[in-house]
């Protein structure tokens, strides 16, 4: 199975700052079948990015995804108060589907 | 409007069994691959099982293989997860989900049902 490793585990930032989250796969994710989810406490995960770089419906353009092969990045250009949450990467290239362990973006 | 509504969770003793159900509406279940994803307390997301649209192809995580079985009744628009020989480490919120996939950006999750395995 493809193991996804996210870094850092926790990112402490202030509103207005930019955030860069990394997701590294143990083997190549073909055709960039890589997604990013946001999850807030007590809520279900929300799809942000699919296909490594396409924003899901209704996702603000301050969120962007990039990368290919084994290295992927989620960038948030200017953190809004509602962006403080846990972010997971997810590969849907091969079964079993796998998730990264998550990166928590917290208020500094 | 797409809805996925899980039920069947609860408190169960180690070694016991539970069957989770997921009632789907607002889309055609018989055209959709479906997933069960769980999240332990304070933990991340873990894929548990998946089912092809007609149920002919299924898969289970190694941690639950031989104990859990995913199935579906497309006529009833319902997905199931039969969980046997439950262990403390199976304690989690279980989500039913129609996940993004090749050629489709649709991504829907139920609210989840809590399974607590404890004596």
Mutate which of A47, A57, A91 to test chain B, going by most B C-beta atoms within 10 A?
A47
Q: How far apart are the first and last CA of chain B?
A: 40
Contacts for A55 with CB less than 8 Å, ≥ 6 apart: A48, A49, A61, A63, A64, A65
Query: What's the token pair of residue B5?
Result: 């509504």
C-alpha distances in angstroms, B23 versus A73, B30, B53? 35, 13, 15
* Residue A96: count of CB within 10 angstroms of its CB: 17
Which residues in chain B have Cβ-Cβ distances shorter than 8 Å to A99?
37, 44-47
The least confident of A29-33, A54-58, A82-86 is A29-33
Along the 119 residues of chain B, how does pLDDT read in single tens digits?
A: 999 999 999 999 999 999 999 999 999 999 999 999 999 999 999 999 999 999 999 999 999 999 999 999 999 999 999 999 999 999 999 999 999 998 889 999 999 999 999 99
The yes-or-no verdict on residue A30 having pLDDT over 90 is no
Among A35, A88, A102, beta carbon nearest to B100: A35
The yes-or-no verdict on residue A88 having pLDDT over 90 is yes
CA-to-CA distance for B68 and A19, rounded, in angstroms? 39
Task: List pLDDT tens digits, range A94-105.
Answer: 988 999 999 999
Q: Looking at residue B14, what is its pLDDT?
A: 98
Mean predicted confidence (pLDDT) in A36-54: 97
Identify the bridge partners of residue B71 per DSSP, sorted by sequence position: B80
* Residue A54: count of CB within 10 angstroms of its CB: 14
The yes-or-no verdict on residue A31 having pLDDT over 80 is no
Q: Looking at residue B58, what is its pLDDT?
A: 97
The DSSP 8-state label assigned to residue A38 in this structure reads E
Which residues in chain A have Cβ-Cβ distances shorter than 8 Å to B105?
47, 50-51, 54, 56-57
Mean predicted confidence (pLDDT) in A52-78: 96
């Amino acid at each position: 199975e493809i193991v996804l490793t996210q870094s850092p585990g926790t990112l402490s930032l202030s509103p207005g700052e930019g955030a860069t989250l990394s997701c590294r796969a143990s083997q190549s994710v073909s055709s960039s079948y890589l997604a990013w989810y946001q999850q807030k406490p007590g809520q279900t995960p929300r799809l942000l990015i699919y296909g490594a770089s396409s924003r899901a419906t209704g996702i603000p353009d301050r969120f962007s995804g990039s990368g290919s092969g084994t290295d992927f990045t989620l960038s948030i250009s200017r953190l809004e108060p509602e962006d403080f949450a846990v972010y997971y990467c997810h590969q849907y290239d091969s079964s079993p589907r796998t998730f990264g362990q998550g990166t928590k973006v917290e208020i500094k | 409007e797409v809805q996925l509504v899980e039920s069947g969770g609860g408190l169960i003793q180690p070694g016991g069994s539970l069957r989770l159900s997921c009632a789907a509406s607002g889309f055609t279940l018989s055209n959709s691959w479906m997933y069960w994803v769980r999240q332990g307390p304070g933990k991340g997301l873990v894929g548990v099982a998946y089912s092809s649209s007609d149920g002919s192809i299924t898969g289970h995580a190694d941690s639950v293989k031989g104990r859990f079985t995913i199935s579906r009744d497309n006529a009833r628009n319902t997905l199931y997860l039969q969980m046997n020989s439950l262990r403390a480490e199976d304690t989690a919120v279980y989500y039913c989900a129609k996940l993004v996939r090749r050629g489709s950006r649709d991504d829907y999750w139920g609210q989840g049902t809590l399974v607590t395995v404890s004596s």
